[in-house]
């Protein structure tokens, strides 16, 4: 009977070591996965922040362009390029509720 007890204790020790080894290997790979996943999240966050900054700069440039296009000088230049001329004396005629501009 002593031999069987030793065999059972050796088997239980070997099963315990196997389970401990499995848990250790699992924990090791899980921690590596966590670190890699964390780095991926940080990289994506940094890429998004960079993209946000680029869009802010582009937005500022577009706002400046809109402001330039809205200036009165630019409107005058555009009118001149379209062969439009200014009118000094404008008169409005009302015909049944609608107003019409005549140039004299």
Predicted confidence (pLDDT) per residue in 60-74, tens digit? 999 998 888 788 778
Q: Which residues have C-beta within 8 Å of that of residue 104, sequence separation ≥ 6?
A: 89, 91
Domain ranges of the chain: 2-103
What does pTM read for this prediction? Answer: 0.42
In this model, does residue 47 exceed pLDDT 50? yes
The pLDDT assigned to 1 comes to 46
**How many residues can be counted in the chain?**
104
Q: 98 falls in which pLDDT band (50, 70, 90)?
A: low
Which among 30, 3, 92 is positioned nearest to 104, based on CA atoms? 92
pLDDT (tens digit per residue) in 3-34: 555 556 667 778 888 888 999 999 998 888 88
Name the helix (H) or strand (E) containing 102: strand 98-103
């Amino acid at each position: 009977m002593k031999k069987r007890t030793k065999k059972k204790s050796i088997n239980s020790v070997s099963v315990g070591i196997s389970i401990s080894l499995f848990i250790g290997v699992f924990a090791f790979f899980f921690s590596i996965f966590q670190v890699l996943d964390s780095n991926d999240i940080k990289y994506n966050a940094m890429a998004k922040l960079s993209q946000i900054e680029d869009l802010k700069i582009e937005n500022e440039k577009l706002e400046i362009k809109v402001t330039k296009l809205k200036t009165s000088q630019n409107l005058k230049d555009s009118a001149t390029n379209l062969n439009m001329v200014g009118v000094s004396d404008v008169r409005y005629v009302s015909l049944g509720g609608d107003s019409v501009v005549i140039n004299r």
